Amino acid sequence: MPTQKVVTEQYGEHVKTCQSRWAGALAAEGFDAAIIHAGSEIISFLDDYIYPFRPNPHFLSWLPLTHHHDSVLIVQPGKTPVLHYYQPDDYWYLPPADPEAWWADQFDLNSERSAKAWEKSVPAGRVAFIGDAPCLADRENLNPSRLLNRLHLERTRKTPYEVACMAEAGRVAAFAHREAERAFREGCSEYQIHQRYCQAAGLVDAELPYGNIVALNENGAVLHYQERLHQRPEELHAFLIDAGATQQGYASDITRTYAARQGVFSEMIEAMDALQQDLCSGMREGVDYRDMHLEAHRKIAGVLAAFGIIRVSPEAAVETGLSSVFFPHGLGHFLGIQTHDVAGLIADVEGTEIPRPEGHPFLRLTRVLESGNALTVEPGLYFIDSLLRRWREQGDASAIDWTKVETLRPCGGIRIEDNIVVTGGEPLNLTRPAFG
Ligand SMILES: [Mn+2]
């Protein structure tokens, strides 16, 4: 397990940025204050199982408190934010530890035994309530959409503290990815590889930013493959792993694909890796991400043509939708506290959607890139039975070499995904250096 490094540098600056963003957004929307509730635990019906806690991302954007249900932050422009830090006197569960100076010093902090204590401190004036805790349900001005859109647009520009958290989440994930590859080479099952990944990352399932995708052979063609089979395949062809880590609430989201042996599929992985790095280096200020998505289609169609899998030009493959048979998802998405981070599709505080390119309904990022944006670049190439069958029945069947497809089908597919921060110059790749 890599020694976990808590990111403390530049946290004070980060809180100042939050303060000025919230002050501006509250003033613009006519609010005097905001109450940000961390969220409450959800307990299963007729039992006492507690679902894994996922805090309100707006709470996390201020505070590195990832399992602190019922804590509440009160934000007022021009005043030090007030944190009601919930520390119940409860002998059934371990309450949150005492606050640590490196983050707590930024707040006026009240330790609370009651989850309702903050209710006596609601400021006068027009107050926005942010969160999904049941105790907020009857409040006026709950999650006002224009206010949230404003804050979401601000959050697309990461602070240096946030970038450092994401880099650390990338470092931990890359360490675990290397362990997962070793487990694959040793012939482990999906279940065993998943366990090796979690152990190497030092995380349990509930602490992962999203459910790991650990896919051997043809399972790599299932985009959100969710099983972890105990049974090992008789013959190993390929391994696709899409797995991240979290650091202080910030996610990494990384995919790698490996071939069991040298051959056509390993050469295709190399070609996809080269085009993925090309795309990564194009993530610059002023670039429309939709253009990069379409560029990815042209490049992937180029790989398909070069390997003789399709018999039409790359341009024709993109034009007719043939490239989408092999690459049916978006090139990537914003990344941050949420794995699919906020505001990837909105143009303004009204939430006006920036349209996706026609024929590309799953793209999650349509904005023009700005310095500070953090995003994924994850081109893919898969052999998906249902999409291939549909093309064979409804498209130009002669455009595909079906014999080649049949030989590659047992390999599933290829996806290679890095995390990128857009800067004023060269894009910052948080993932490649972490693999060493
Ligand atoms: Mn992703």
Query: For 71-117, how does the pLDDT look when each residue is reduced to its tens digit (9 = 90+)?
Result: 999 999 999 999 999 999 998 889 999 999 999 999 999 999 999 99
CB neighbour class for 6 (10 Å; exposed up to 12, middle 13-18, buried from 19): middle
The CATH code of the domain that includes 18 is 3.40.350.10
Q: Are 230 and 189 in contact, with CB atoms under 8 Å apart?
A: yes
Residue 1 has pLDDT above 70, yes or no: no
Whether residue 170 is found in the same domain as residue 267: yes
Cα(340) to ligand 1 centroid in Å equals 7
Cα(328) to ligand 1 centroid in Å equals 14
Whether residue 235 is found in the same domain as residue 374: yes
Q: What are phi and psi of 80, to 5 degrees?
A: -60, 130
Cα(356) to ligand 1 centroid in Å equals 18
Is there a domain that residue 267 lies in? yes
**Separation between Cα atoms, residue 400 and residue 421, nearest integer Å:** 37
Is there a domain that residue 4 lies in? no
pLDDT value, residue 100:
96
**Separation between Cα atoms, residue 54 and residue 67, nearest integer Å:** 7
Distances (CA, A) of 360 to 192, 221, 342: 36, 19, 20
Q: Are 180 and 201 in contact, with CB atoms under 8 Å apart?
A: no
Q: Are 34 and 126 in contact, with CB atoms under 8 Å apart?
A: no
- How many C-beta atoms surround the C-beta of residue 291 within 10 A? 12
Whether residue 219 is found in the same domain as residue 151: no
- Percent of the chain topping pLDDT 70: 100
Can you say how many angstroms the Cα of residue 160 is from the centroid of all Cα atoms in its chain? Answer: 18
Is there a domain that residue 2 lies in? no
pLDDT (tens digit, 9 = 90+) per residue, 48-78?
999 999 999 999 999 999 999 999 999 999 9
Cα(343) to ligand 1 centroid in Å equals 15
pLDDT value, residue 169:
98
Cα(234) to ligand 1 centroid in Å equals 30
Whether residue 64 is found in the same domain as residue 118: yes
DSSP 8-class letter at 403: H
State mean pLDDT over 407-434: 98
Phi/psi-derived region of residue 141, left when phi > 0, alpha when psi is between -120 and 50, beta in every other case: left
Cα(376) to ligand 1 centroid in Å equals 6
Cα(14) to ligand 1 centroid in Å equals 25
Pairing of strands 127-130, 33-37: parallel
State mean pLDDT over 342-362: 97
Q: Are 252 and 430 in contact, with CB atoms under 8 Å apart?
A: yes
Cα(414) to ligand 1 centroid in Å equals 13
Cα(418) to ligand 1 centroid in Å equals 8
Q: What are phi and psi of 377, to 5 degrees?
A: -125, 110
Task: Please give the mean pLDDT across all residues of the chain.
Answer: 97
Whether residue 31 is found in the same domain as residue 131: yes
Cα(167) to ligand 1 centroid in Å equals 15
Whether residue 58 is found in the same domain as residue 172: no
The CATH code of the domain that includes 205 is 3.90.230.10
State mean pLDDT over 152-167: 98
Cα(334) to ligand 1 centroid in Å equals 9
Is there a domain that residue 6 lies in? no
Cα(209) to ligand 1 centroid in Å equals 11
Cα(378) to ligand 1 centroid in Å equals 7
- Look at 322 and 92; give whichever has higher pLDDT: 322
Whether residue 110 is found in the same domain as residue 206: no
Is there a domain that residue 360 lies in? yes
Is there a domain that residue 385 lies in? yes
pLDDT value, residue 13:
98
Domain boundary among 155, 190, 220: 155
Residue 261 has pLDDT above 90, yes or no: yes
- How many C-beta atoms surround the C-beta of residue 115 within 10 A? 18
Cα(177) to ligand 1 centroid in Å equals 15
State mean pLDDT over 293-315: 98
pLDDT value, residue 75:
98
Whether residue 185 is found in the same domain as residue 108: no
Cα(111) to ligand 1 centroid in Å equals 38
- How many C-beta atoms surround the C-beta of residue 123 within 10 A? 15
How many Cα atoms within 13 Å fall on the side-chain side of residue 304?
Answer: 33
**Separation between Cα atoms, residue 233 and residue 325, nearest integer Å:** 26
**Separation between Cα atoms, residue 410 and residue 235, nearest integer Å:** 10
pLDDT (tens digit, 9 = 90+) per residue, 8-46?
999 999 999 999 999 999 999 999 999 999 999 999 999
The pTM score is: 0.97
Residue 122 has pLDDT above 90, yes or no: yes
Is there a domain that residue 96 lies in? yes
Q: Are 15 and 63 in contact, with CB atoms under 8 Å apart?
A: no
Whether residue 293 is found in the same domain as residue 209: yes
Q: Are 240 and 264 in contact, with CB atoms under 8 Å apart?
A: no
Residue 37 domain boundaries: 11-155
Distances (CA, A) of 147 to 144, 353, 381: 5, 16, 39
Cα(115) to ligand 1 centroid in Å equals 36
Whether residue 173 is found in the same domain as residue 145: no
State mean pLDDT over 317-336: 98
Cα(210) to ligand 1 centroid in Å equals 10
Cα(128) to ligand 1 centroid in Å equals 32
Transcribe 128-161 into DSSP letters: EEES--GGGTT-SSBS-HHHHHHHHHHHTS--HH
Cα(230) to ligand 1 centroid in Å equals 25
pLDDT (tens digit, 9 = 90+) per residue, 332-342?
999 999 999 99
Residue 4 has pLDDT above 80, yes or no: no
Domain boundary among 155, 190, 218: 155
Whether residue 184 is found in the same domain as residue 42: no
Domain boundary among 95, 120, 155: 155
Cα(254) to ligand 1 centroid in Å equals 7
Pairing of strands 108-112, 82-86: parallel
Domain count, the chain: 2
State mean pLDDT over 120-142: 98
Is there a domain that residue 5 lies in? no
Whether residue 147 is found in the same domain as residue 176: no
DSSP 8-class letter at 54: -
pLDDT value, residue 436:
87
